[in-house]
Structure 1
Amino acid sequence: MDKTDIGILKALQEDGRASAQQLSETVGLSAAPVWRRVKALEANKVITGYSAQVDRSKVGLQGCMFAQISLERHSAGTVETFERSVRDAPEILECYAVTGDSDFLLKILVESPEAYDRFLHRFLFNLPGIRQTRTIVVLRELKHEVRLPL
């Protein structure tokens, strides 16, 4: 990975629909080598996909919560069941194994606090092996960045 690849990545983070010609103007190479570099970045899983950034409030997802989850046991079966369940829940956008008082931190998007309550009772509270959940309700989003600091 060199400065040109980083330049391509920065430009694609700004505009994922940029053409090879547009990228070539940004990084100072012709379009063909830029296209080959983009394909190599994709093949090497540096670029893992392309998507639209959607304003969650405009699609009715007003409730952003973080849930701290502590497991009763850390056996392979308990952890695998939890991780599989989390991957299958569309409301859970992110899941991190963490240090400290809890084992996992989940970022959850729902329509409202009432929808979160339903999610807790329908999903989280029914998962086996959970000892405790603690919820942090987001009051206001100060920064939401999806671009990496390259």
Structure 2
Amino acid sequence: MDEKDIRILKTVASEGITSPDRIQEHTGIPKSTVHYRLDQLRERGVLENDLGDMDLSKLGLDITVISEVYAEFDEGYHTTVGEKLSDIEGVNQVYFTMGDTDFIVVAHVTSRQMVESLIEDYEAIDEIRRTSSRFVITTVKREPYPINDFGTEALVDSVVED
């Protein structure tokens, strides 16, 4: 894996495209090179399908950290703190929640050193009182498209208007 592969993967992820023509437009990498590298990424299992789903472990992003974040309550804090958490490198998902925990944050990183840096970045946010983080040992299910978790009939019954 090199810089071109990373640029191609970032374009696939950010733009939601797997077309060599479109990737070439965004990266400036020749179309033939993009096509060859997409094939190689698929063969190595990094790209799992034509939708752009990626095997994070094959990218070295095999440490998943789930953190509970407790913040100081103030008007609009959920927006302010949520945006600050979202801007931290490695953070993929930020959820403002009800209950004892203010935010659930999911990050994917490459090393324990990155975990330490991630936690330091959380704690550098003035409004954050404390955090509690966990490492994922085994991913039991990773469905990127929640619609796949429902049967067609259940979706029709709950979504389609009569």
- Partner Cα distance (1:129, 1:55) in 2: 34
The residue that corresponds to 2:59 in the other structure is 59
SS at 1:140 equivalent: coil
- Partner Cα distance (1:56, 1:83) in 2: 24
Corresponding letter in the other structure for 2:122: L
Runs of at least 4 residues of structure 1 off by over 4 A? none
In our comparison, the structure showing a higher alpha carbon Rg is: 1
The residue that corresponds to 1:109 in the other structure is 108
User: What CA deviation, in whole Å up to 9, does each residue of 1:34-80 have, x standing for no partner?
Assistant: xxxxxxxxxxxxxxxx951111111111210100011122322x333
TM-score using structure 2 length: 0.56
Structure 2 unaligned blocks of 5 or more: 1-16, 19-49, 151-162
The residue that corresponds to 1:82 in the other structure is 81
Corresponding letter in the other structure for 1:59: L
Contact in 1 for aligned 2:123/2:130 (Cα 8 Å): no
Structure 1 unaligned blocks of 5 or more: 1-15, 18-49
SS at 1:64 equivalent: strand
1:86 Cα shift?
2.3
Cα-Cα RMSD = 2.1
Contact in 1 for aligned 2:92/2:107 (Cα 8 Å): yes
Bigger relative CO (Cα 8 Å, ≥ 6 apart): 1
The residue that corresponds to 2:91 in the other structure is 92
- Partner Cα distance (2:103, 2:109) in 1: 19
Contact in 1 for aligned 2:78/2:96 (Cα 8 Å): no
Corresponding letter in the other structure for 1:141: T
- Partner Cα distance (2:96, 2:82) in 1: 10
SS at 1:115 equivalent: helix
Corresponding letter in the other structure for 1:93: N
- Partner Cα distance (1:115, 1:100) in 2: 29
Q: Is it true that 1:143 corresponds to 2:108 in the alignment?
A: no
Paired positions, count:
101
- Partner Cα distance (1:51, 1:81) in 2: 32
SS at 1:124 equivalent: helix
